[in-house]
Amino acid sequence: MKITICPDKENPYMVISKKVFTERCLSLKAKGLFAYLQTFPNDYKFGLRAIAADLGELNTTIQTLMDELVEAKHVTNWKEERNENESTNEKNL
C-alpha cells in the first residue's frame, strides 16, 4: 500500500492508497481507525484505552475494529499485553 507523507512542518499531510477505503468487507469505522492509525509511526506503541479516549469510543469497539483490520490484513502484529495498569499495543501497517 502506498503512503506518501509530506514533510511540510507547517501543514503536514499524507496520501494513502484508496485500496483500503474501497473494500466492502471493512466497516466505515474500521476505515476511519485505519486512517487514524496512519498518523503514528509504524513502530509506535500505544494503549488501547488511549485510542478509545482520543476517538471517543469504547475499548471494546476499538478492539473489535482492530480485529476487523487484522482479519483484512491491513494491520499486522497487533498484540495486547493486558495488566492492571495499562495495555500496550504495537501495530505494523
Q: What is the 3-state secondary structure (H, E, C) of 9-51?
A: CCCCCEEECCCHHHCCCCCHHHHHHHHHHCCCCCCCEECHHHH
Q: Provide the domain limits for residue 80.
A: 26-92
Look at residue 42 and tell me whether its pLDDT is greater than 80: no
Model confidence pLDDT, tens digit, residues 17-41: 888 899 999 999 999 999 998 888 7
Is 8 inside any structural domain? no
Model confidence pLDDT, tens digit, residues 45-93: 778 899 999 999 999 999 999 999 989 988 876 665 444 444 444 455 5
Dihedral, CA of residue 12, residue 15, residue 35 and residue 56, to nearest 10: 30
pLDDT of residue 92: 52
Query: In this structure, are residues 37 and 76 in contact, taking their beta carbons and an 8 Å threshold?
Result: no
How many structural domains does the chain have? 1
CATH code of 37's domain: 1.10.10.10
Is 83 inside any structural domain? yes
pLDDT of residue 88: 46
Is 16 inside any structural domain? no
pLDDT of residue 40: 82
